[in-house]
Amino acid sequence: MLSLENTENAFANRSDKELKKAHFVFKVLAVSWLNAIGTKLTMIALNLRLPVKSLIKWTVFDHFCGGETIDGCNPRVKSLYQYKVGTILDYSVEGDQNEKAYENCLTQLLEGLKLAEKEEAIPFCVVKLTGLIPFDILEKLDAKKKLTEKQQQAFERGKNRVHQIASAAKTANTPFMIDAEESWIQNTIDAIVFDLMLEFNKEKALIYNTAQMYRHDRLQYIKDLFAHSEENKIHIGLKIVRGAYMEKERERAKDKGYPSPIQVDKAATDRDYDLALAFCAEHHDTIAICCGTHNEASSLLLTELMKQRGISKENNYFYFAQLLGMSDHISYNLSKEGYNVAKYVPYGPVKEVMPYLIRRANENTSVAGQTGRELSLIRKELKRRSL
């Protein structure tokens, strides 16, 4: 069986200096109190315009982000692709909910797609729909409440932006993935994405939705989506992830007194994740997947499923994806073996991508084992290089 433990492959694109820096970044992130104080102080300092930007840029930003602009990501795109690891440009500016911010997000996506059209190192583009459509409108629709006339107009403008991106993705021949978000807006997202699939996925999977397998209803969702795709003679694209908003989901369900949409435990999430991979591999003629995970067992399972079903490693309906700066041992070892691999490469002005960086910092303390694993792999490689 394929091994993901080879650290020489995993860190081949990092110089000794870069590896030492990665070691420093994860060591700091691993200390939870330092992490908590650090993130708070950083936000305060940035708001007070204290000169902390270069420190952030040199450390966490440089580790987890591609650059401040699409052009700025270019060296990273090239360096990843030297090892056949593709880039999924992820405009990670969050928070601002106004027309100007939505239009800016649209511009970024269209620019990214223009680049993807000529750059084989960029196999997908991605967006969160809340970057294009107001959250409260998605929430209202999910709750089956009637929109005001003004909200309806804002919703139409938002859907129009999404449609523009899908059309540009078609022109660029670059698949377009839509991230999954909170469960209380997800039905509306699913419906918008399904409409796009009906229009754009007739010949192949161009539009991908995302399924969060920490939700106990998502395996059934995938099966139903497949049934609908057969009825409508379309292909489907799916990014399969475990899900990023577990605590928030559980808390809201408790506060509002409805049953939690989240699985009872991690084992149930893992079970459904792997069943989803198996279901998609079984229907690989019309289902394309992007296996978005840092979980070694699930990544290895997909390689086995592909082997069992005679799916070639370079079949572009099968992609593995990790976040930049995390789980390089999975990305680089899989790409060395000839599998299709890509990294989410977040970008945006330092201050504006701070919420993303803070989430990465928190994840690296709260997700059991994640930082420990990164650190031990880096240490193993430092030792191998006698550093």
Ligand X SMILES: Cc1cc2nc3c(=O)[nH]c(=O)nc-3n(C[C@H](O)[C@H](O)[C@H](O)COP(=O)(O)OP(=O)(O)OC[C@H]3O[C@@H](n4cnc5c(N)ncnc54)[C@H](O)[C@@H]3O)c2cc1C
Q: Which of 34/367 has CB closer to ligand X?
A: 367
- Burial group, residue 284, by CB count within 10 angstroms (0-12, 13-18, 19+): middle
Task: Give the separation between CA 180 and CA 239, rounded to whole angstroms.
Answer: 9
Build a one-symbol-per-residue string for 202-221: x at contacts with ligand X by CB under 6 A, - elsewhere. --------x-x-x-------
- CB closer to ligand X, 52 vs 253: 253
299 binds ligand X per the rule CB under 6 A: no
* 180 in contact with ligand X (CB under 6 A): yes
Nearer to ligand X, 39 or 210 (CB): 210
Closest CA to 89 of 74, 101, 103: 74
Q: Which residue has the tokens 């945006």?
A: 348
Residue in 123, 131, 243, 348 binding ligand X, rule: CB under 6 A: 243
Nearer to ligand X, 10 or 154 (CB): 10
Mask: binding to ligand X, 260-289, rule CB under 6 A, as x and -?
Answer: --xx-xx--x--------------------
Does 323 bind ligand X (CB under 6 A)? Our answer is: yes
Nearer to ligand X, 130 or 269 (CB): 269
Provide the minimum distance between the beta carbon of 311 and ligand X in the complex, in angstroms, as a whole number: 20
Phi, psi of 52 (to 5 degrees): -105, -5
Site for ligand X contains 295 (CB under 6 A): yes
How far is Cα 221 from Cα 190, in angstroms, rounded to an integer? 10
Q: Which is nearer to ligand X, 154 or 162 (CB)?
A: 162
Q: On the CB side of 42, how many CA atoms lie within 13 Å of its CA?
A: 23
The site for ligand X, by CB under 6 A, has a size of 25
Taking CA atoms, 238 is separated from 5, 175, 215, 312, in Å, by 27, 11, 15, 19
Parallel, antiparallel, or unpaired: how do β-strands 341-347 and 85-91 relate?
Answer: parallel
Alpha-carbon span 152 to 319, nearest angstrom: 37
Give the up-direction half-sphere exposure of residue 366: CA atoms within 13 A in the CB hemisphere. 11
Interface positions with ligand X (CB under 6 A): 179-180, 210, 212, 214, 241-246, 262-263, 265-266, 269, 292-295, 321-323, 344, 367
